[in-house]
Amino acid sequence: MYQHPNHPPPTLQNNPLELTNTALWIYTVAFEELRRGLAVQCKDRAQLLGALWQQYTGLVETRAGLVQEDALAAAKREAEVARQRVEAMQGKLTYVCVCWGVWGGGNVQVWVSGDTGV
């Protein structure tokens, strides 16, 4: 079945990681073929091209790791802020007593003791 080059197969469209891995594999194969073809003409240039590709892919992997670490650090900061907010709210709301009754047609009465200001 013909697949338009701008539209990857459905399994890749829904999985960005798999799409990225597939693209990296395709580029690696293409660069290896270029390196082999160049090696026929000039071995030194072919080695340089191979070394450049290895350095580039290493840099891409390092960058991806740094982005992931940064996202994790941001999530940890957000979690700490949320934890501090919960602790602050727990300190302000010391006691809640909810009493159910049939006062005035089934109304619920709530009494709050302690400082409830946020």
Q: How do residues 35-80 score in pLDDT, each as one tens digit? A: 999 999 999 999 999 999 999 989 988 998 999 999 999 999 999 9
Q: Is the pLDDT of residue 22 over 70?
A: yes
> How is residue 114 annotated by DSSP?
S
Q: Is the pLDDT of residue 25 over 90?
A: no
Give 92's contacts (C-beta < 8 A, 6+ positions apart): 114, 115, 116, 117, 118
Length of the chain: 118
* Domain definitions of the chain by residue range: 10-92
**Which of the two residues, 2 and 57, has the higher pLDDT score?**
57
Provide φ and ψ at 8, rounded to 5°: -65, 165
Q: Is the pLDDT of residue 20 over 80?
A: yes
- Hey, which residues does 98 pair with through a beta bridge? 110
pLDDT value of position 79: 94
- Specify whether the CB–CB gap between 53 and 35 falls below 8 A: yes
Cα separation, 49 vs 55, whole angstroms: 10
pLDDT value of position 104: 46
- Specify whether the CB–CB gap between 38 and 46 falls below 8 A: yes
- Specify whether the CB–CB gap between 109 and 83 falls below 8 A: no
Average pLDDT for 1-20: 64
Percent of the chain with pLDDT over 70: 65
C-alpha dist (Å) from residue 105 to 99, 100, 101, 102, 108: 14, 11, 9, 6, 9
pLDDT value of position 100: 44
